[in-house]
Structure 1
């Protein structure tokens, strides 16, 4: 009988089938490693170890993915036992072999859990990664010590300092997984994996007992040079290099202890706070308070020509949205639920179209920040300046029709846009104005200093050479202070004017539309965190 029934839907379930025990993680939607999951894995492991009928253990996950990482609801809170590192240590110490079957994604702590098992099988299409650096952190449950023992330090540093995902085939080539199978059901693969072990076809091993990776000083220095060139202002990528270097010089236990110390340093860094703030801020920017509809539009009219329209067209079919040109197809006019109107449409042409399509309830003016909205449109869709194919866009509610705005925001999210809903006036326009006030005649001289500290203003200024960046190191602090001051002032004015539903929406637009440094969290976050002027 499935233990899931007796446990009432517990996030971790243990079952036995023949001589194999199965630990199944079932914590939708992404099997995050919350406290209940960590505790459940330990309890299921203990049950499997005490089950005398079981010779091999398989770890698998229900749903669309293996373990996609930590539970974000625990971010910023005191850690609750058992710690993930302790869970992984217990898995690796098991006297019965543990085979991990991966599907979907195995990211962050999810990959670290898999590395604590004794054999790893991935379904085709699986992706693995250690993306902690994107939150100002490093892998803190043994990942910096185990991964290099499989891949060598070059591949390990590539993954950790970039946070990129690796597909199953690449993971197999580098030894991160031991086998890739063409299958769709991880539960069936788990059953087959147990049979493989019982038949002697799998030879489990402990990664912690593998030889330390070779100490390649040239590789370490190459990554340090690259980081100093590309992200000299970031803290955690350099700590990743230190941790991986420790894997080449220390025992496994000492390396794990050093990794933990570096992890604590990252946790204490204000960059970690800023990046996690941004991580949470991007989740709800499309929501209009007081509206709860999940409704989406199914037919959009595109009037005129705009680069955004081509991007939307490439995504429409998969998103279940039909795009039509009402001017070219009279028959389609009656099915159009909303019209996006490009800036090249003149006032007379616009009014004529509204007259022949009176049934369309929603007219959206696509505009640049500095454009004048001459039309009587209900919503302005404002795009960032200097962006050829922007992923972020702002919906300015001009008439107070919250439900209409929410439905359009839901639709654009389905079309892979990061939507920020504002009201009255454009926040992108306000931020663009504030930025241009700073970019005076002396801006070119300060551009290198801004770039060296993570402020990407290249769309507004000429690109500076590496020599100019090096010369600017001395004046970087004052130049960045001036720029930060302008941003924070703009954020206060925008918030006071009531243009946003959440102050964190200002931060998302600052970062994604204007290149504000993500590790600072955003101009509004800087005000609230006491960065001051």
Structure 2
């Protein structure tokens, strides 16, 4: 017997004792995302079954290799429409017979809350469960904050919910998030269990107690990692109420907080990034990529080793090459040391899984490679020499440069097949940072770009396509940010004041700490390369040059903008302040103090104006690509959705005034050549 609804179906089976078992199958391709139609169908299904005689119980499961992989986020910008998920869960809990959630695949967000509304949860080993709503600026709104503490305790619930962790089945079983792990067909296993099951809603259980110390520790850790997330803070308060309030009162508070965060700016920003990532993941997906199994890496310094680790950890075979065997031996030793350190810290499971995939060779040994990534020093002549040689050694391979700034069109010009050349720009450390810029030249074929986009996706990266330009997307905008920072210090601010202001804005790190981490010599080399073409009328600050001339290249030399010799995290250095003050005096600048708000206003104006230039010039294909690049590569706060999303939601008069002010600071006194107001207005429908 089968009774079909639009997103679910009811199947009837006979149990060993002669009673009937109902199987409710959620079938809403592609991943059974929760929707209004699904909620309506589930509620109707349980209403139909409620009057069925001789029933032993219900197995609730999902088709499409998932239980329910979260909610349809597109519904979040519209007013909630009944029936709501709490209504469905209430119907399951009030159902007179036991209901088993049979999970195979993902049960996330509202999907896991639905499972928590059942009397028992069983799962296959490939399943994953969790409440990741906080990652979208939301509070679980269908009982997750109240039912989970009754399974794992207050402290553990705080950690699981605020971290938005997706928990694999075996760990979920050990934590109590699911009741049984099963082999084979999960529905058959549930049918076998059901005749002996009893009605046992989680809401009727007591909360598993956590000590006050455990709760305080979990709270402090969660708030530190949340970095200002209103959803995380609200979730913590509601989770703590689980053993302080009657469950219906606590559930009402949870629902109110869920609806409040749903319309908040942080959730809109995070949902903007979610959809931006989905859009860019489909770029060039209509072009068939070439297969890539073996990857060559030329240049095995810190960046090359990080790139090798990124590829090897995702199953690619890697051949590392250096200019000479003498350089490659020590570099391989350092690579193995890097891998051992990751294993010792628990971030890698096995050293052998990585090192056995990475071999060493001279450049001639790269002939078997499908893709070769060049990661040598930022020198045009050196890169052209390498590419000319690679084009002969591996004529059918895709050749990609990891350059941060150089013109890849010029690099490609020395090869016989420039259509096979592009940029694959990783960010340091390459095995950690999610952003990769895929740079298309004037000759790059769609197949080449599609292949690099697909490879980056296999690496677990966010691949953002960009046109060849000085600094591409991220570094071009970051250079404008850097320049405005230098104007501020020459005018009267100090590095620690600017860093503090931008951390308060929400940046992961202050700019001067980032400069030191990246290495001051890289930007110095770029400034020297561009010096002959610099407009003499534009303002130029030479303080960073003077630091580099003194050998202060950042963390790697123990000194940069900060001193790291006695403080691993860096501390202000009077010697740097003296260089700053001397530079101001030399230009007869009367130094003054800056408020936090003024620092933030000037630096954000620099970022937004440069981002607008990048978009208007076609370097980036979409405004959302710029937001993704700055959030995932440069520590822009995700809670603000990226610089263009943030700017589109600010008072435009203030943004325009700030931009005009920084244009004057540059010394050109020219009007902005981009209609910023029109651009920001055009972004509003996409980010509302």
TM-score bucket of the superposed structures, by smaller chain: 0.7 to 0.9
Output the CA distance in 2 between the equivalents of 1:293 and 1:420. Answer: 16
* Residue 391 of structure 1: aligned partner: 434
Give 1:337 shift: 5.0
* Residue 486 of structure 1: aligned partner: 606
Structure 1 residue 509 and structure 2 residue 629: aligned? yes
Higher relative contact order (CA 8 A, sep 6+): 1
Q: Secondary structure at the match of 2:256?
A: helix
* Residue 460 of structure 2: aligned partner: 416
User: What is the aligned counterpart of 2:423 among 374, 380, 384?
Assistant: 380
For structure 2, the residue ranges without an aligned partner over 5 or more in a row are 15-19, 319-356, 413-417, 517-561, 573-593, 656-688
| TM-score normalised per structure 1 | 0.86
Query: CA separation of 1:387/1:172 partners in 2, compared to 1, >3 Å: closer, same or farther?
Result: closer
Query: CA separation of 1:342/1:317 partners in 2, compared to 1, >3 Å: closer, same or farther?
Result: closer
Output the CA distance in 1 between the equivalents of 2:609 and 2:230. Answer: 27
Give 1:119 shift: 1.3
Give 1:437 shift: 1.7
User: What is the aligned counterpart of 2:237 among 238, 242, 263?
Assistant: 242
Once the two structures are overlaid, the 10-residue window that deviates more, 217-226 or 257-266, is 217-226
Are 1:294 and 1:410, in contact at CA under 8 Å, matched by a contact in 2? no
User: What is the aligned counterpart of 1:427 among 473, 492, 496?
Assistant: 473
* Residue 530 of structure 1: aligned partner: 650
* Residue 502 of structure 2: aligned partner: 450
Output the CA distance in 2 between the equivalents of 1:464 and 1:510. Answer: 26
Output the CA distance in 1 between the equivalents of 2:282 and 2:110. Answer: 30
Give 1:304 shift: 1.3
Q: Which residues in structure 2 correspond to 1:469-484 (within 5 Å)?
A: 476-484=596-604
Q: Secondary structure at the match of 2:411?
A: coil
Q: Secondary structure at the match of 2:77?
A: coil
Q: Secondary structure at the match of 1:285?
A: helix
Once the two structures are overlaid, the 10-residue window that deviates more, 392-401 or 268-277, is 392-401
Structure 1 residue 172 and structure 2 residue 166: aligned? no
Output the CA distance in 2 between the equivalents of 1:248 and 1:476. Answer: 41
* Residue 70 of structure 1: aligned partner: 71
Give 1:329 shift: 6.4
* Residue 11 of structure 1: aligned partner: 7
Give 1:481 shift: 3.4
* Residue 116 of structure 2: aligned partner: 115
1:133-168 deviation per Cα after TM superposition (whole angstroms, max 9, x unaligned): 111111101111111122221111111111112333
* Residue 389 of structure 2: aligned partner: 352
* Residue 346 of structure 2: aligned partner: none
* Residue 296 of structure 1: aligned partner: 290
Once the two structures are overlaid, the 10-residue window that deviates more, 243-252 or 215-224, is 215-224
1:359-415 deviation per Cα after TM superposition (whole angstroms, max 9, x unaligned): 55x432221x24564512531222225656433210111115334312331233233
Output the CA distance in 2 between the equivalents of 1:223 and 1:149. Answer: 17
* Residue 312 of structure 1: aligned partner: 311
Q: Secondary structure at the match of 2:140?
A: coil
Query: CA separation of 1:63/1:189 partners in 2, compared to 1, >3 Å: closer, same or farther?
Result: farther
Query: CA separation of 1:143/1:405 partners in 2, compared to 1, >3 Å: closer, same or farther?
Result: same
Q: Secondary structure at the match of 1:164?
A: coil
Give 1:522 shift: 0.2
Once the two structures are overlaid, the 10-residue window that deviates more, 386-395 or 57-66, is 386-395
Query: CA separation of 1:384/1:336 partners in 2, compared to 1, >3 Å: closer, same or farther?
Result: closer
Are 2:134 and 2:163, in contact at CA under 8 Å, matched by a contact in 1? yes
Output the CA distance in 2 between the equivalents of 1:87 and 1:153. Answer: 25
Q: Which residues in structure 2 correspond to 1:214-229 (within 5 Å)?
A: 214=209, 218-229=213-224
User: What is the aligned counterpart of 1:262 among 257, 264, 268?
Assistant: 257
1:300-346 deviation per Cα after TM superposition (whole angstroms, max 9, x unaligned): 55251322134213324599xx999996667x84x655543332564
Query: CA separation of 1:419/1:75 partners in 2, compared to 1, >3 Å: closer, same or farther?
Result: same
Output the CA distance in 2 between the equivalents of 1:180 and 1:403. Answer: 43
Output the CA distance in 1 between the equivalents of 2:570 and 2:48. Answer: 59
Are 2:407 and 2:468, in contact at CA under 8 Å, matched by a contact in 1? no
Output the CA distance in 1 between the equivalents of 2:26 and 2:207. Answer: 31
Q: Which residues in structure 2 correspond to 1:314-329 (within 5 Å)?
A: 314-317=313-316
Report which of the two structures shows the higher radius of gyration computed on alpha carbons. Answer: 2
Are 1:60 and 1:190, in contact at CA under 8 Å, matched by a contact in 2? no
User: What is the aligned counterpart of 1:275 among 258, 262, 270?
Assistant: 270
Structure 1 residue 205 and structure 2 residue 179: aligned? no
Are 1:300 and 1:323, in contact at CA under 8 Å, matched by a contact in 2? no
Count of matched residue pairs: 511
Query: CA separation of 1:423/1:346 partners in 2, compared to 1, >3 Å: closer, same or farther?
Result: closer
Are 1:111 and 1:128, in contact at CA under 8 Å, matched by a contact in 2? yes
Give 1:220 shift: 4.5
Query: CA separation of 1:459/1:387 partners in 2, compared to 1, >3 Å: closer, same or farther?
Result: farther
For structure 1, the residue ranges without an aligned partner over 5 or more in a row are 469-473
Are 1:301 and 1:326, in contact at CA under 8 Å, matched by a contact in 2? no
Output the CA distance in 1 between the equivalents of 2:281 and 2:180. Answer: 41
Give 1:261 shift: 1.5
Structure 1 residue 459 and structure 2 residue 538: aligned? no
Q: Secondary structure at the match of 2:614?
A: helix
Output the CA distance in 2 between the equivalents of 1:233 and 1:505. Answer: 24
Give 1:456 shift: 1.4
Output the CA distance in 2 between the equivalents of 1:297 and 1:89. Answer: 50
Output the CA distance in 2 between the equivalents of 1:47 and 1:357. Answer: 66
